[in-house]
Amino acid sequence: NEVLHLDAISKTYGKDSAAPVPVLKGLSLGVGKAEVVALVAPSGAGKSTLLHIAGLLDTPDEGRVILNGRDMTGLGDGPRTEARRQELGFVYQFHHLLPEFTAAENIILPQLANGVSQSAAQARAQDLLGRVGLSHRDSHRPAELSGGEQQRVAFCRALANQPALLLADEPTGNLDPETSDKVFDVLMTLVRETGLSALIATHNLDLASRMDRVIRLGEHG
């Protein structure tokens, strides 16, 4: 019962060039329901490529991407974008919050874009902010928040549309070690409480060890 299944994924950049770069070779992995999987990889091993393929932003040369039992591989941009909006949440090293909007608005807007009513979106934003301990920061703009607070708002935004799977790329990588630890705990609690599945890339082996399973990506897939 997997939320995400990557089946024998291969990806080579510059396939037809004089110097092709093979990145992933026959890679398979699965993320189960409510499972949190760490993705640990040396730089250049293809972590971003893998997350882009899992996030339906890029397509593999070979292999299949199965999301909630549905084969996404051959689908066009329309259904892929829709699945991205409805079933996936993204968190990056940098928060990417909209600077001119408040914390609450940053969590409300993606819901409105998804057809949720203003009142329901507002209620969900307040609930999420409460879960990450930021109810008192709802009217603040990103620039008025600390780095750790910005990331916590970004977690809420990623969960705004109740995705089935969270894809995170070094979600606390920009924070000092002590803040990183605390903010990571907040993320894990949020993920556990909402029963979310997650694939989280990190270089931090201590953080990786707190997840359910660790997948290591070698130098060449």
User: Interface with ligand ADP includes 186 (CB under 6 A)?
Assistant: no
Asked whether 87 and 67 are in contact (CB, 8 A), the reply is yes
User: Interface with ligand ADP includes 25 (CB under 6 A)?
Assistant: no
Cα four-point dihedral sign 138, 187, 119, 55: positive
Interface pattern 54-93 for ligand ADP (x via CB under 6 A): -x-x-----------------------x--xx----x---
Near ligand ADP by CB under 6 A: residue from 10, 48, 73, 126: 48
User: Interface with ligand ADP includes 155 (CB under 6 A)?
Assistant: no
In angstroms, the first-to-last Cα distance of the chain is: 25
* Interaxial angle between packed helices 177-194 and 147-159, expressed in degrees from 0 to 180 and rounded to the nearest 10: 20
**30: its two tokens:** 């699965």
Using the rule CB under 6 A, give the single segment among 13-21, 30-38, 60-68, 187-195 that binds ligand ADP: 13-21
User: Interface with ligand ADP includes 112 (CB under 6 A)?
Assistant: no
Identity of the residue, 132 or 166, whose beta carbon is nearer to ligand ADP in the bound complex: 166
Near ligand ADP by CB under 6 A: residue from 45, 83, 103, 164: 45
Identity of the residue, 15 or 33, whose beta carbon is nearer to ligand ADP in the bound complex: 15
Near ligand ADP by CB under 6 A: residue from 1, 16, 18, 43: 43
User: Interface with ligand ADP includes 47 (CB under 6 A)?
Assistant: yes
Instruction: Tell me how far CA of residue 183 lies from CA of 124, 190, 201, 207, 211, in angstroms.
Output: 20, 11, 15, 11, 15
Question: Three-class SS of residue 146?
Answer: coil
User: Residues touching ligand ADP: how many (CB under 6 A)?
Assistant: 18
User: Interface with ligand ADP includes 141 (CB under 6 A)?
Assistant: no
CB of 180 to ligand ADP, least distance (A): 19
Instruction: Tell me how far CA of residue 9 lies from CA of 14, 26, 109, 185, in angstroms.
Output: 16, 5, 34, 31
Identity of the residue, 88 or 181, whose beta carbon is nearer to ligand ADP in the bound complex: 88
How does DSSP classify residue 33?
T
User: Interface with ligand ADP includes 17 (CB under 6 A)?
Assistant: no
Alpha carbons within 13 angstroms on the beta-carbon side of residue 216 total 6
Asked whether 221 and 22 are in contact (CB, 8 A), the reply is yes
Binding site for ligand ADP (CB under 6 A): 13-14, 21, 23, 41, 43-49, 55, 57, 81, 84-85, 90
